[in-house]
């Protein structure tokens, strides 16, 4: 299923006058502050975030799962759904696959289907946190860290195979997240588990093509509750540095203990040239996988403040970042949730682009703490929604994607085509 461009134009036409009034108002206000609004609109139009194949259906918890009508049950349908989001937002120009949930049987056809919807394939993700029915050894007690070399071998080979699938699709990076860890003191020899993980990662890294990047994700707890083999950004960074220059740390916003200063982590990793990518979501307690910006929008803005600074002052030659949403939708229509997330990302990015960096630096140098706070909040409290809408309008997308999605009754159409009781693969 695809959206005709004409339908988007018709939707925009109905809302254009109201939008133009709002955009003209904020444009003149920002022009008075000597801000180049057109440059910001262009930056937002160009910004692309990958949608993961596992976020298109209803997620679940360990207590239950409530499916959502019209969920995609094949890789082709998942690509179609990302295509719908991309047509409405022009921000979701990439898809990220999890293997073995989404093994492409005909890579050329899948690639073509994606290209037809303006999509490319972003990082591929391996999975050694579940056992598959056809695998010889279990990951119950770990994968890349396992005490048994045969289990490590199987997990390394799986990652190398994921890279091969990715190559066929045009991906250029592998993301590794490990559930490896322990739930009880004494279960692991920490040093041995660390060394096994390091040598396994290095072997995967060395097997990748020369133009590939390795992203190493961290998480402090869950599914293991006493220790994780890669619990934090420092451990991830140490592994990345040991692997080589194309290995980087991946920050997932939900993979931190409460109140962790994530923006500071972003700043330090970029200073070291080792921030590889981002998994956007939001949380109240831990890895809640809630809609981006739904709980802590100010934190998201402060993170974008550091990202913008890092991209504008790239002294350590940090590579271009891989942006991806990593969320799970238990209550909302997954497509609406993803569009809300994309919107929240663009709002935070736009606000960060408004920060008066010259004034901020002067205030920092003068230790004028009150002024520092005022400068940040002046940007954060600016209503940039019309700027974000204008960036979509100029790119041929919908002024208000969720409203357009509803007015076109796209979920009803998906249910008509796919049925009410279908289940997407993934978490």
Residues in contact with Mn ion by the rule CB under 5 A: 252, 279, 326
Q: What is the dihedral of CA 103, 108, 112, 118, to 10 degrees?
A: 60
Shortest distance, CB of residue 177 to Mn ion, whole angstroms? 6
- Complex with Mn ion: residue 57 or 401, whichever CB lies closer: 57
Shortest distance, CB of residue 8 to Mn ion, whole angstroms? 31
List, in order, residues 6 or more apart from 185 with CB less than 8 Å away. Answer: 226
List, in order, residues 6 or more apart from 363 with CB less than 8 Å away. Answer: 371, 372, 375
Q: Pick from 284, 74, 208: which is nearest to 293 by CA?
A: 284
Kindly calculate the radius of gyration of the chain based on its CA atoms and give it in whole angstroms: 22
Shortest distance, CB of residue 326 to Mn ion, whole angstroms? 4
Shortest distance, CB of residue 217 to Mn ion, whole angstroms? 6
Shortest distance, CB of residue 277 to Mn ion, whole angstroms? 10
Shortest distance, CB of residue 287 to Mn ion, whole angstroms? 8
- Complex with Mn ion: residue 292 or 353, whichever CB lies closer: 292
Shortest distance, CB of residue 90 to Mn ion, whole angstroms? 24
- Complex with Mn ion: residue 54 or 68, whichever CB lies closer: 54
* DSSP character at residue 128: -
Q: Pick from 321, 257, 261: which is nearest to 283 by CA?
A: 257
Question: SS3 for 278?
Answer: strand
* Structure-token pair, residue 384: 């940039």
Shortest distance, CB of residue 219 to Mn ion, whole angstroms? 8
Q: How far is 200 from 154, CA to CA, in rounded Å?
A: 10
Strands (E), 99-166: 120-125
- Complex with Mn ion: residue 122 or 252, whichever CB lies closer: 252
Question: SS3 for 349?
Answer: helix
- Complex with Mn ion: residue 93 or 277, whichever CB lies closer: 277
Q: How far is 274 from 408, CA to CA, in rounded Å?
A: 43
- Complex with Mn ion: residue 252 or 333, whichever CB lies closer: 252
Neighbours of 153 (CB within 10 A): 15
* Structure-token pair, residue 402: 């969720």
- Complex with Mn ion: residue 82 or 388, whichever CB lies closer: 82
- Complex with Mn ion: residue 125 or 154, whichever CB lies closer: 125
List, in order, residues 6 or more apart from 255 with CB less than 8 Å away. Answer: 217, 218, 219, 220, 279, 287
């Amino acid at each position: 299923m695809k959206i005709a461009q004409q339908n988007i134009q018709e939707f925009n036409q109905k809302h254009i006058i109201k939008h133009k009034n709002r955009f003209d108002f904020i444009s003149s206000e920002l022009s008075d502050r000597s801000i180049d609004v057109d440059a910001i609109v262009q930056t937002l139009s160009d910004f692309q975030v990958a949608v993961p194949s596992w976020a298109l259906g209803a997620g679940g918890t360990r207590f239950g799962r409530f499916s959502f009508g019209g969920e995609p049950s094949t890789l082709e349908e998942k690509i179609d759904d990302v295509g719908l989001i991309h047509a409405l937002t022009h921000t979701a120009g990439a898809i990220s696959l999890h293997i073995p949930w989404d093994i492409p049987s005909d890579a050329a056809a899948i690639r073509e289907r994606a290209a037809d919807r303006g999509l490319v394939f972003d990082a591929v993700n391996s999975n050694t946190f579940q056992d598959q029915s056809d695998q010889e050894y279990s990951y119950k007690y770990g994968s890349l860290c396992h005490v048994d070399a045969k289990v490590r071998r199987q997990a390394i080979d799986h990652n190398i195979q994921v890279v091969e699938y990715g190559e066929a699709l045009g991906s250029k990076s592998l993301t590794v997240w490990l559930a490896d860890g322990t739930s009880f003191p004494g279960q692991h020899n920490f040093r041995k588990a660390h060394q096994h993980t390091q040598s396994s990662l290095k072997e995967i890294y060395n097997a990748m093509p020369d133009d590939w990047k390795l992203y190493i994700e961290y998480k402090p707890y869950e599914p293991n509750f006493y220790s994780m083999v890669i619990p934090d950004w420092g451990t991830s960074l140490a592994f990345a540095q040991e692997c080589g220059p194309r290995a980087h740390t991946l920050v997932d916003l939900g993979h931190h203990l409460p109140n962790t200063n994530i923006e500071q982590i972003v700043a330090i990793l970029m200073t070291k040239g080792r921030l590889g990518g981002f998994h956007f979501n939001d949380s109240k307690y831990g890895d809640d996988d809630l809609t981006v910006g739904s709980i802590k929008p100010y934190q998201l803005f402060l993170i974008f403040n550091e990202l913008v600074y890092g991209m504008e002052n790239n002294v350590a030659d940090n590579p271009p970042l891989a942006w991806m949403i990593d969320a799970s939708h238990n209550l909302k229509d997954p497509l609406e949730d993803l569009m809300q997330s994309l919107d929240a990302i663009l709002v935070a990015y736009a606000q960060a682009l408004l920060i008066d960096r010259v004034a901020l630096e002067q205030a920092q140098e003068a230790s004028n703490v009150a002024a520092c706070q005022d400068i940040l909040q002046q940007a954060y409290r600016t209503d940039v929604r019309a700027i974000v809408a204008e960036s979509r309008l100029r790119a041929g997308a919908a002024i208000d994607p969720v409203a357009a999605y509803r007015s076109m009754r796209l979920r009803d159409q998906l249910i008509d085509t796919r049925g009410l009781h279908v289940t997407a693969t993934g978490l």
